[in-house]
Amino acid sequence: MNKLLEKYPQEVKRILAKYPPDHKRAAVMPLLYLAQKDQMYVSKQAMEDIAELLDITVTEVASIVGFYTLYYDEPAGKYRIQVCTDLPCALRGAETFLQKLCEKLGIEVGGTTEDGLITVERVMCLAACHHAPMFQVQSGDGLTYHEDQTVESALELIEELRQAAGRRNGHE
Ligand code: FES
């Protein structure tokens, strides 16, 4: 049974309806987005499901996941804090910011907090070089940008994310 179709029948049908049957492989991106929204990574099972829906190979699906930086094939936190440490940001203290933030959270760069909610990682230029330290937060809800940050402001935001996750779990 196709688990993605089983879990999101309406969404999958809506996505497939947007593409002509002989070009349905073009639906791979929105289907990957749908699959990742749930767990913040695309599982092997989800890749198999998408391949089956689109009549393409699992390797083709996996190669797309591997190519795009915002798709992941390994589990991590519910929220990915992506700190730019590219040169212009590094010159404005982004590396120190990243190290101190990780230290406060008790994780290594690339690691995930014990509650499984927050992953902090290093990324390349996010086009806000003059507002470093800056990061984006990627979650199942999309991306948000946070500029001119301090470790304190980042920790406040992380606390808000934790509370939002707690409220959401309470309603599930
Ligand atoms: S170098 Fe960091 S946003 Fe451009």
The domain ranges of the chain are: 3-67, 79-171
Which of helix, strand or coil describes residue 126? coil
The pLDDT of residue 47: 97
102 alpha carbon – ligand 1 mean position (Å)? 19
124 alpha carbon – ligand 1 mean position (Å)? 7
Which of helix, strand or coil describes residue 38? helix
The pLDDT of residue 116: 94
The pLDDT of residue 169: 77
- 88 CB within 6 A, ligand 1: yes
- 132 CB within 6 A, ligand 1: yes
Per-residue model confidence as pLDDT tens for the chain (172 residues): 899 999 999 999 999 999 999 999 999 999 999 999 878 999 999 999 999 999 999 999 999 999 998 999 999 999 999 999 999 999 999 999 999 999 999 999 999 999 999 999 999 999 999 999 999 999 988 999 999 999 999 999 999 999 999 888 776 5
Burial of 108 (0-12, 13-18, 19+ CB in 10 A): exposed
83 alpha carbon – ligand 1 mean position (Å)? 9
Query: Which one, of 154, 32, 68, 33, lies nearest residue 104 by Cα?
Result: 154
169 alpha carbon – ligand 1 mean position (Å)? 34
Cis preceding linkage at 20, omega within 30: no
DSSP letters, 65-116, are HHHSTT--SS---SEEEEEE-SHHHHTTTHHHHHHHHHHHHT--TT-B-TTS
Ligand 1 atom with the shortest distance to the CA of 128:
3
Q: pTM for this structure?
A: 0.87
Six-digit token string for 88: 């212009």
- 123 CB within 6 A, ligand 1: no
- 129 CB within 6 A, ligand 1: yes
The pLDDT of residue 39: 83
Chosen CATH of 79-171 out of 1.10.150.20, 3.30.420.250, 1.20.1250.20, 3.40.30.10: 3.40.30.10
In CATH, what number does 3-67 get? 1.10.10.1590
- 142 CB within 6 A, ligand 1: no
Q: What is the spatial distance between Cα 148 and Cα 135, in angstroms, rounded to a whole number?
A: 9
- 50 CB within 6 A, ligand 1: no
Q: What is the spatial distance between Cα 125 and Cα 112, in angstroms, rounded to a whole number?
A: 22
The pLDDT of residue 171: 64
- 86 CB within 6 A, ligand 1: yes
- How many residues are given for the chain? 172
Local structure of residue 19 (DSSP, 8 states): S
The pLDDT of residue 172: 57
Query: Which one, of 82, 105, 110, 85, lies nearest residue 156 by Cα?
Result: 105
